[in-house]
Amino acid sequence: MSLCDLTPPYIRAIAPYQPGKPTSELQRELGLNHIIKLASNENPLGPSPHAIEAMGSLLETLALYPDGNGFDLRSAISKKFSVALPQIILGNGSNDILEFAARAFLGKGTSAVYSKHAFAVYPLATQAVGAEGIEVPAKEFGCDLEAMVDAIRSDTRVLFIANPNNPTGTFISGPELRAAFERVPDHVLIVLDEAYTEYLSAEDRYDAIAWLNDFPNLLISRTFSKAYGLAGLRVGFGLAAPNVIDMMNRVRAPFNVSTLGLAAAEAALGDSEFLARSVALNQAGMMQILHGLRALNLPYIPSWGNFVAFKVGEGLAIYQKLLHAGVIVRPIANYGMPEWLRVSIGLANENALFLEVLGKTLKQNA
Ligand SMILES: *Cc1c(COP(=O)(O)O)cnc(C)c1O
C-alpha cells in the first residue's frame, strides 16, 4: 500500500481548484504574442498607484518578517469600516478567511451548507477538514436562501453565501439577506463572502457590517483581489465578533500576510479615487459586453459583479477556440454549467476584442 493510499478518503475525494489559465502558460503553449486574459475577475486597471508606491519604499526591509498582527492594516480597516480591532482578521487572500472558518468551526461529524453554482472554495474547504457538504439547488442560478436555511441540520456549523455570487453574478438584496439570517440558528456561522461588494450600485448597496452587532454568528469576508486590484499579492480580511475571530486566529499561520501585501492593501484602502475609477470602468464595460452578447443572441445571467456568465452551447469547445485566438475566458463546467462560459470585464479595447473573436468563433461553428 502506498503512502498516498493512506491519506484520509475525504482528501482523496477532493477535485483540486481549477484556476484561470495564466497568460504566460498560453504564451508557452501556443506561441501567441497578443493575449488578453478575462478569466479571473481581476482589475483591468492594475493596482492602485498608491499601492505600488507603498511597496516600492519597502523593498529594502524584506529581510525582516512582516508584522504578524498586521496592526497598521487592521487599524486602517477599523477606521474605514467602524469596527474594533478584535473584530478583524487578515488573510492571505480572502480564500484564507474561508479556510479559517472551515478549520475553526468544521470537522468530522459536522456539515456546511452552500448553494449549487457557488464559489468552488466552499466545497473544497469543507472537504479538506472531513466535514460533509450540503449543496442546495439554486434558484435561477442564484442562492435559494429559504431552501439553504431549511437545509441546516443539527450538525451544521457553517453556511456559506457569496453575495454577489461567483461564477453566476447573482445578487440577493440586503433586506432578503437579513430576513434569512434571522432564521439561521445560533450554532451556525454565517459566512457572508462579499468579494464583489464594491461593485454594487448605490441602490443595491447594503451594510452587512452594521449587522455584526445583531448577529454574533456572522462572519463577513472581503478581498483586495478584485476592485482593489491586488490579486497577485493575496490579501483579504474577515470581520466578526471578537470570540469568532479569536477561534479563527488559532488556525491562522503566523505571518500569513506579507510585508508588501500589508502595505499595498493599506494604501489601496485609502485610494478612493482608484476604487471609484475601477467601479465606473466596470459599469461601462459591463454595458459594452452585455450589448455585444445581445447582438450575438447569447443568453446571459444578469450580473452584479465584474464578470458575466453567458451560454454558448459547448462551453469547452468555444473556450478552446477563444484560447487559440488569444482570448482567455473561464469554462465553468466544474460549477455544473457546461454550456456556459464566464468572462471578466476588461478594458474597453479588451472587451471589444473578446466580442469580435467570440462572434467569429460562433460563426465558424454555425
Ligand atoms: C475572487 C473571489 C474571492 C477572493 O479570493 P481571494 O482569495 O481574496 O483572491 C472570494 N470569494 C469569491 C466568491 C470570489 O469570487
Q: Give the architecture (CATH level 2) of 4-46+273-365.
A: Alpha-Beta Complex (3.90)
- Which residue CA neighbors atom 15 of ligand 1 most closely? 166
Per-residue confidence band for 33, with pLDDT thresholds at 50, 70 and 90: confident
Q: What is the pLDDT of residue 16?
A: 86
- Which residue CA neighbors atom 1 of ligand 1 most closely? 195
- Which residue CA neighbors atom 14 of ligand 1 most closely? 195
Q: What is the pLDDT of residue 171?
A: 98
What are the extents of the domains in the chain?
4-46+273-365, 49-271
In this structure, how many other beta carbons lie within 10 angstroms of the beta carbon of residue 213?
9
Residue 41 Cα to ligand 1 middle (Å): 9
Per-residue confidence band for 17, with pLDDT thresholds at 50, 70 and 90: confident
Residues with CB under 6 A from ligand 1: 41, 93-95, 119, 162, 166, 193, 195, 223, 225-226, 231, 236
pLDDT averaged over every residue in the chain: 96
Sole residue written with cell 457572508: 192
Per-residue confidence band for 106, with pLDDT thresholds at 50, 70 and 90: very high
Residue 151 Cα to ligand 1 middle (Å): 24
Residue 249 has pLDDT above 80, yes or no: yes
Q: pLDDT: is 30 or 271 the higher one?
A: 271
Amino acid sitting at position 80: K
**Nearest atom in ligand 1 to 226's CA:** 1
Q: What is the pLDDT of residue 32?
A: 87
The string of pLDDT tens digits covering residues 34-91 is 999 999 999 999 999 999 999 999 999 999 999 999 999 999 999 999 999 999 999 9
- The domain 49-271 having CATH identifier 3.40.640.10: the answer here is yes
The string of pLDDT tens digits covering residues 107-125 is 999 999 999 999 999 999 9
- Which residue CA neighbors atom 4 of ligand 1 most closely? 94
Residue 11 Cα to ligand 1 middle (Å): 22
**Nearest atom in ligand 1 to 118's CA:** 13
**Nearest atom in ligand 1 to 165's CA:** 13
Q: What is the pLDDT of residue 214?
A: 97
Mutate to test the pocket of ligand 1, among 18, 114, 226 (most ligand atoms within 8 A of CB): 226
Q: What is the pLDDT of residue 19?
A: 86
Residue 259 has pLDDT above 90, yes or no: yes
The string of pLDDT tens digits covering residues 300-324 is 999 999 999 999 999 999 999 999 9
Residue 359 Cα to ligand 1 middle (Å): 30
Residue 53 Cα to ligand 1 middle (Å): 25
Is the bond leading into 167 cis (omega within 30 degrees of zero)? yes
- The pTM of this model reads 0.97
Residue 366 has pLDDT above 80, yes or no: no
